[in-house]
Structure 1
């Protein structure tokens, strides 16, 4: 079976002084989260679409989902304190409520990347059915500079550099085994879900994203997203 998990657990601290997490802010005429979920509802192969959100916002999430989304596959689940804990909370829900097999996969996506396309979703599904882990990326346009404090330590070759996006997709059993292998110290270094599999020695396959599949993180991003929605409409 194929499952989707929309990660909506962030607090949105880089958005500035706003009254709610960024995934609930309005983009055009509805919450950013809803724009994202609508793209996943269009994919008929998903057996369930989980929205994993902060415990304090569980009721609010259920309310807006009930208002805008009419699909029984969509479930609202409580997330964790940080990204990968939220991811694993969703996996725990799938283990509890569905009869998972060794072939089942999950397509995970940031709630605040509302411009995902059906092509990107389909490519992730195809790759996840073949590989244990999949990352969506775009080639780096600018030169990447690695530094420490105020000095450059290295400049990697740009042609081998990519910018990570989501979805990040996994064979569910491979993800569980990889996460269980990690030490407490390794889990503390996780800044990215695919790193779970990398640290466990798994191969991570690449899928091409799109530059417009960006993450709404700052007030500037929200202005750009608003302009993009208005242009498309």
Structure 2
């Protein structure tokens, strides 16, 4: 079984929106979060979707799921006090759902609700890579030079060809990632920036697949305008066959 856990619990302070969080901003009459969920809902190998949502926006999300005929969302859960806690909340209900289906080898794909520009191929590649080596981090090549500050005040500049940027989905066997989260709780660790950082800390082997460059996170107004342009390009491709 393959379950997507989609995180839509952020308040979007960097977007500077006053009326609604960034994941619920409309683009051509459809919220950004729905664009994201549709990608997983339409994928033939995704069996269920769990959405982690701001509690006060859950009724609106349910309304939008019905409006846009999303069929695979099996659970909606409110977020926690941090991104790490919110993801754990989503993993717990995913675990409950997998238990109901008696599936002990469930793969979970953890994705940002404000990354609506991934592809069906990216989702498929994540599933295959987890089957191959137990985990998958979607990456894109670095296009600029990294400068790493050292503790002694000096700097290290790695070769650009050796650098990639971690994005999402980040995918694992559910039993492995939820075990890592529970270890964090026992050890009082609550500041991991993402799931692959946590898994690396606990010594898990991390596989990677290269995703599309446009797989950006809609965080700022500039990102929103990029998304709007990309959606327009995709619509033109469907209407006019432009590639």
Q: TM-score normalised to the size of structure 1?
A: 0.91
Once residues 205 and 20 of structure 2 are traced to their aligned partners in structure 1, the CA distance between those partners, rounded to angstroms, is: 37
Once residues 72 and 184 of structure 2 are traced to their aligned partners in structure 1, the CA distance between those partners, rounded to angstroms, is: 35
The corresponding residue for 1:58 is 58
Pick aligned residue for 1:197 from 196, 199, 208: 199
Q: Which moved more, 1:40-49 or 1:108-117?
A: 40-49
1:157 and 2:159 correspond: yes
| 1:132–1:175 CA contact under 8 A, matched in 2 | no
Change (3 A) 1:84 1:27: same
- 1:51-98: CA deviations, max 9, x gaps? 111112111211111211341544322222222211111111122233
Gapped runs of 5+ residues in structure 2? 236-243
In the TM superposition, what is the alpha-carbon distance from 1:181 to its structure 2 partner? Answer: 2.6
In the TM superposition, what is the alpha-carbon distance from 1:186 to its structure 2 partner? Answer: 6.5
Gapped runs of 5+ residues in structure 1? none
Change (3 A) 1:188 1:75: closer
Q: TM-score normalised to the size of structure 2?
A: 0.88
Instruction: Give secondary structure in 1 for the equivalent of 2:207.
Output: strand
Change (3 A) 1:177 1:216: same
Once residues 217 and 153 of structure 1 are traced to their aligned partners in structure 2, the CA distance between those partners, rounded to angstroms, is: 29
The corresponding residue for 1:95 is 95
Once residues 70 and 197 of structure 2 are traced to their aligned partners in structure 1, the CA distance between those partners, rounded to angstroms, is: 34
Instruction: Give secondary structure in 1 for the equivalent of 2:213.
Output: coil
The corresponding residue for 1:227 is 229
Change (3 A) 1:160 1:184: farther
User: RMSD value over aligned CA atoms?
Assistant: 2.1
Once residues 183 and 98 of structure 1 are traced to their aligned partners in structure 2, the CA distance between those partners, rounded to angstroms, is: 22
Instruction: Give secondary structure in 1 for the equivalent of 2:10.
Output: coil
Change (3 A) 1:35 1:147: same
Once residues 77 and 127 of structure 1 are traced to their aligned partners in structure 2, the CA distance between those partners, rounded to angstroms, is: 27
In the TM superposition, what is the alpha-carbon distance from 1:49 to its structure 2 partner? Answer: 0.8
In the TM superposition, what is the alpha-carbon distance from 1:118 to its structure 2 partner? Answer: 0.4
Q: Which moved more, 1:50-59 or 1:175-184?
A: 175-184
- 1:16-73: CA deviations, max 9, x gaps? 1331110000122210011111111111222211111111211121111121134154
| 1:131–1:171 CA contact under 8 A, matched in 2 | no
Question: How many aligned residue pairs are there?
Answer: 232
The corresponding residue for 1:168 is 170
| 1:182–1:199 CA contact under 8 A, matched in 2 | no
The corresponding residue for 1:78 is 78
1:7 and 2:7 correspond: yes
The corresponding residue for 2:20 is 20
